[in-house]
Amino acid sequence: MILAVAATEFEMTPFARFLAMDGGLSCQEGRTLPCCTLVAGLGPVETTLRLTRYLERRDLRIDKVLNFGVAGAYICESLPSGNGALLDLCLAEQENLGDFGICFADHYEALDEKLGGTTVFPLDQSMLRQARKILDCHRIAYRCGNFVTVSAVSATRQRGAMLASRYQGLCENMEGAAVARVCAEFSLPLLEVRAISNLVEDRDLGRWKMTEACARAAEAAVLLVREMGGA
């Protein structure tokens, strides 16, 4: 059984709508739900708490996790794969705790792992390959790259470029590394898919496409749940 995790109701609501349209929520005629869902909360602390408690108490057998939602795309000339654009669909190759460490004016330094633990979380390559094959078969464009999890959203292009350069990061979010850490603890494979809602630039909410990005991420997540054998 797949557990589909999103941070907010705003991200989960279109997922439930697309799932119902797909027939996944029809319990008549003996159908079962193709996945379980969890709204894990905004930020790494709340996500860690809610996901851990869910996995400890849940009776159903969860054998894989799909984390989905929105992200902000970095603008950085040094990224080898180029920058993401609004509403791009992105798959995570690894997650990084981006701002956990020592903060200087123009850069971050990670804590020694003996003090702070690991801050880099490779995601399950088998699920990633399967997801790429599914999206390719449906001719859905996507990007793959490193995701960066932050506790404070980057509100300037300068900070975004610094994080992008340090982690070769494609985009940032506020929960992915927390989900990855919990999944590692429970030996659960994890796939993360996000749609770009905004560029990480000097903050301008008028340029964001939050509603459209939530819908795009949710639609892709439903497709992946269905074809990765969620039931």
The confidence score (pLDDT) of residue 33 equals 57
3-class secondary structure, 40: coil
Neighbouring C-beta atoms of residue 2, cutoff 10 Å: 23
Domain count, the chain: 1
pLDDT of residue 32: 54
| CATH of residue 23 | 3.40.50.1580
Q: What is the pLDDT of residue 229?
A: 75
Residues of the chain with pLDDT under 70: 23-33, 59, 230-231
The pLDDT, as a whole number, for residue 107 is 80
Amino acid at 179: V
Query: What pTM was computed for the model?
Result: 0.91
- Predicted pLDDT of residue 59: 67
Structural domain of residue 86, as residue ranges? 2-227
Q: Number of C-alpha atoms within 13 angstroms, CB side, residue 151? A: 9
- What pLDDT shows up at residue 86? 97
- pLDDT digits 0-9 by tens, 36-64: 999 999 999 999 999 999 999 876 789 99
Q: 13-23 in b/e burial notation, b at 16+ Cβ within 10 A?
A: ebbbebbeeee
How far is it, in rounded angstroms, from Cα 215 to Cα 222?
A: 11
